[in-house]
Amino acid sequence: MSEKRVAMSSVLLALTRAGFEPECAQELEFHLGEGGGSGYAQTQRDSGFVVLHVHDQPQRELRAHRMIFARQLLPVRMAFANLDPKDRVTPILTEVKASGIKVSDVWVETPDSPAGEQLMAFARSFESAMAAALKREKRIDAASKHRLHLFVHSGTHLDLSIATHAETAPWKGGIVRLRFPSEAPSRSTLKLEEAFMVLLDEEERERWLQSGMNAVDLGACPGGWTYQFTRRAMRVLAVDNGAMDAKLMDGGLVEHIRADGFRFEPKKPVEWMVCDMVEQPIKVAERMATWLREGWCRRTVFNLKLPMKKRWPEVQRCFAAMREAVPFDLDIRAKQLYHDREEITVFAARA
């Protein structure tokens, strides 16, 4: 078996949730065209990734943090096929040395798919071997702004990318790995924790999630999202006709109001409003816009439960409706999080 190398020009590899490849492709092509570029996306159902072939570069570079369905976005430098299982390191190391770039470290990434799960043990082992080889050849520099990414299609087929930290997601595969806190009322708490990590930067988290601040949680029960505020010593008005977790209520930071979350109006403005209610996405988007327009909250995080078809057009429709509903510019950020399923999580605030 002879090794095959294919030099790639203007190819981007986008990692996404398995089953959402069409939406990821539509979003990539949209942003490519919006920036004046051209090209096409290549997909394989349930693969967990999309390949974007760029013919004309857009004026604005595509970045993972600006994408909803793309968790990680890697510029492919070289594709290796038919690697010799007895020595996968040497050809990759040769390419890294030829680039003249020292890297801070190496990430071996796999798709978030059933096939990718089968490759994780290999990825961990190969990452260790590759890191050792890079150190031996003095290609590692902790101060470097570049990282070596190796995306695994199979044990003999890898894509190589050397990308800056700024242009890629700061988590391997674009996935924030979180532990479920045993005292939290439900696993939905991980959605909001991940949203704070992905949709806000470190400075924003420090400024906007301070003890003593207040929040409203619409559709709160049993309190998974409320917990993310109380653990930061923030006060929460939990709005839900259902029952809240008893331990959460014992902390003294939560007031529970039995009411319809879609009809509730606060008596005074709050720093945050969050909402994880099951409803048509356009209705949720319009209600969130009302909260911002009326000044009931400074900022909001909410989920949009997407339809089975035309998901990307529905997202665009919802964001357009929100912008039309307020007399000021909106800062809207969204991502299909690792802990999301058939939904996306959105941050919105006055720009």
Q: What angle do CA 225, 337, 52 make, to 5 degrees?
A: 165
Distances 224 to 36, 229, 274 between C-alpha atoms, Å: 43, 10, 11
Whole-number Å distance between alpha carbons of 169 and 177:
13
Whole-number Å distance between alpha carbons of 32 and 56:
9
Pairing status of strand 254-257 against strand 270-275:
unpaired
Question: Tokens representing 154?
Answer: 């199979």
Whole-number Å distance between alpha carbons of 346 and 251:
28
Start-to-end C-alpha separation, the chain: 56
User: Considering 305, 309, 310, 335, which one is annotated as catalytic?
Assistant: 305
Q: In whole angstroms, what separates CA 250 from the centre of its chain?
A: 33
The yes-or-no answer on residue 135 being catalytic is no
Whole-number Å distance between alpha carbons of 333 and 345:
9
Residues near 144 by beta carbon (within 8 Å), at least 6 away in sequence: 101, 102, 103, 104
Question: Tokens representing 131?
Answer: 């890191």
Asked if residues 75 and 163 have their Cβ atoms less than 8 Å apart, the reply is yes
Catalytic residue annotation:
305
